[in-house]
Structure 1
Amino acid sequence: MDGPLSTHPTDGTPDPGAAGPWRVGTRLGDAHDTRRARTLPFKLYLPDAPRPGGLILFSHGLGGTREGGARWLAHWASHGFAALAVQHPGSDAGVLGKGSPLGLRRALKAAMNPDELARRADDIRFVISRLGHDPRLPAAELPIGLAGHSFGAVTMQLLAGERRAGHPATPPDPRLRAVLALSPSARQPDAPPGLAQRFAHLRAPFMGITGSRDDGMGLSDISAANREQPYRHVPAGSDGPSKYLLVFGGGNHLDFAGQASHAEAGLFAVRREPAVFIGDLLAASTAFWQAHLAGDAAAARWLVTDFPGRLRPIDRFEFK
């Protein structure tokens, strides 16, 4: 493993927005799917906890790499979760080459298609199938959380039960416990079978995180308002709140990448410094995993009672 990413904090219960109690190391590797002749680079974040509270699988957005989500994954791992970022050939930084900005946008748009989405979902299924069999990967019995940014969020929505035209309905993995979608979306909301049917089967605890300026940045027809639609149409929790929507005022698309690739950052002229709401994003997402991946009832209560008081007037937090 590489060196630690965080250190032990002072005594007391850590703020979920601050570094957690565990040191974190990382490991790079490749998972090769011989059936599909497809090699998947990955980056594993492991806390030095006796047993991780669960495994969070992360899918990057268009033009990303296995370094995507690094800020989020390192933080969640410091709170005791193993985290695994998977790189998707065909919709990663490799499709961009060294073309003009217009050429790069065209390449990204071409990669955003149903076939690539299906390949991405199969990538995650393959990695899950290797848990407990590949010694470089975590144990198979860990509960699973799915997380992703943008096209990665859509990938995880599909794996969690979203029914999309052209994609066979496949039951979620029985180990799935929670889904966190950064910049989620519901493209073509008026197309059959309609949003109510598309999201009716996404029953796992779900958190959507987006911003008031989180549109498609010229790559798609997705508006900031559209990114709220998955939350609007997933069924409410049956035993207390388990579905959440967090909207940060002023947040733009790459604020939610966790670490944009060089290609992503170079393609879009957007804010370079960290967004002011990063601490609140880390706090909410960590409490979500603690509550619904690790089964921590105190974290579930904190999320709906104490967390809203941290937010700015221009932010919104909803749950059901």
Structure 2
Amino acid sequence: MDCTLSAGTDPARTPSGPSAPAPHLTHLTDIHDSRRARSLPLKLYLPDRPAPAGLILFSHGLGGSREGGTDWLSHWAGLGFAVIAVQHPGSDTSLLHNNSPLALRKAFRVAMNPEELTRRADDLRFVLSRIGRDGCFPDVINGVQKIGLCGHSFGAVTVQLLAGERRPEQKPGPADPRVAAALALSPSARHADKGPGLTHRFGQVRLPFLSITGSRDDGMGLSDITAANRELPYRHMPAGDKYLLVFADGTHLDFAGQASQVEGTVFHIRREPAVFRDNLLAASSAFWQAHLADDADARRWLSTTLPGRLRPEDRFETK
């Protein structure tokens, strides 16, 4: 088992009212699913407090790793949330063995399939099943009562599945009663014209759900996903604590939290943080505080203060 500890801080500040992020620890480990003969690398973010505000389980996008999402995860950990970043073998950095843009796109297309999605969903279900029961996790994680699911891109689709999306090729798994909210960075609804329709697919998503995307958030040329497609999950979910935040000019890698070195060389990526980074951190933090920590002030902030902080060209919707 690989376990290392390091101190970390996030210099960003959440201007939504909560206290500024505090120092936290990170911890690398692996957890083994003997039934599937599959080992999952994990990165734990441990807040410097005896009882976290909640736990967030993070799923990276294609070609990512347990180091993905660091910008967001370290910030949330600094605000008191424990985080587990899960690495998914088969759709992780193992895809990046060839730096050719053409070869990389081909590898990504091959990995984006129903079987791989099932493996990813089962990865999250396995980690959930071990929380509170596995000695590899510290008490600060094993004692949590509320859990949030979060993912970027293919990780967002993985989260959609666990949150209640129904797909013909996917068997629904048992719901964990501790899962209380979900946040999808670059969500999507591929093959929207197939099957029983999107209202059926997303009609059972009852959890509080925040979708974050951008007006230029396409699939990097890897699929049929357009920026407009990424709004469809929200459009077809039932009302009740559903939120859609669309940042003008936001591109796919802006929402990764930290793009890998290979992604940065193969695809166009901003050299500086996106201008909306602080608002993304503020909105996502308030969402977790509202729905994992039961913070009434954070819930009010989402509906009353956040809209006034956004640029005129950004969009925020709730239902």
1:2 aligns with 2:10: no
3-state SS, counterpart of residue 135 of structure 1: coil
3-state SS, counterpart of residue 2 of structure 1: strand
3-state SS, counterpart of residue 203 of structure 1: coil
**Unmatched segments (≥5 aa) in structure 2:** none
3-state SS, counterpart of residue 25 of structure 1: strand
Query: Residues of 2 paired with 1:193 and 1:295: CA distance?
Result: 35
Query: Residues of 2 paired with 1:188 and 1:52: CA distance?
Result: 39
Query: Residues of 2 paired with 1:21 and 1:249: CA distance?
Result: 26
Find the counterpart in structure 1 of residue 299 from structure 2.
300
Deviations 1:192-244 (A, max 9, x none): 1210000011100000000000001110100000000011011111xxxx110
The answer to which of 204-213 and 259-268 deviates more is 259-268
Match of 2:51, as an amino acid?
R
3-state SS, counterpart of residue 233 of structure 2: helix
Query: Residues of 2 paired with 1:48 and 1:70: CA distance?
Result: 17
1:48 aligns with 2:43: no
Q: How has the CA–CA distance of structure 1 residues 8 and 165 changed in structure 2, closer, same or farther, with 3 Å as cutoff?
A: closer
**Unmatched segments (≥5 aa) in structure 1:** none
Find the counterpart in structure 2 of residue 175 from structure 1.
178
3-state SS, counterpart of residue 158 of structure 1: helix
Query: Residues of 2 paired with 1:7 and 1:269: CA distance?
Result: 25
Find the counterpart in structure 1 of residue 255 from structure 2.
256
Q: How has the CA–CA distance of structure 1 residues 159 and 63 changed in structure 2, closer, same or farther, with 3 Å as cutoff?
A: same
Query: Residues of 2 paired with 1:216 and 1:96: CA distance?
Result: 17
Deviations 1:25-58 (A, max 9, x none): 1001111111111111111101112200111000
Match of 1:57, as an amino acid?
L
How far 1:17 sits from its partner (Å)? 8.2
1:118 aligns with 2:128: no
Find the counterpart in structure 2 of residue 206 from structure 1.
209
Query: Residues of 2 paired with 1:18 and 1:65: CA distance?
Result: 29
Query: Residues of 2 paired with 1:30 and 1:190: CA distance?
Result: 39
The answer to which of 135-144 and 196-205 deviates more is 135-144
Match of 1:159, as an amino acid?
L
Question: Structure 1 stretches (4+) deviating beyond 6 angstroms?
Answer: none
Find the counterpart in structure 2 of residue 152 from structure 1.
155
3-state SS, counterpart of residue 299 of structure 1: helix
Query: Residues of 1 paired with 2:113 and 2:21: CA distance?
Result: 41
Q: How has the CA–CA distance of structure 1 residues 105 and 21 changed in structure 2, closer, same or farther, with 3 Å as cutoff?
A: closer
Give the conservation status (yes or no) of the 8 Å contact 1:44–1:84: yes
Match of 1:268, as an amino acid?
F
3-state SS, counterpart of residue 279 of structure 1: helix
Give the conservation status (yes or no) of the 8 Å contact 1:186–1:227: yes
Q: How has the CA–CA distance of structure 1 residues 19 and 67 changed in structure 2, closer, same or farther, with 3 Å as cutoff?
A: farther
Paired-residue identity, %: 64
Give the conservation status (yes or no) of the 8 Å contact 1:236–1:243: yes
How far 1:273 sits from its partner (Å)? 1.5
Q: How has the CA–CA distance of structure 1 residues 279 and 8 changed in structure 2, closer, same or farther, with 3 Å as cutoff?
A: closer
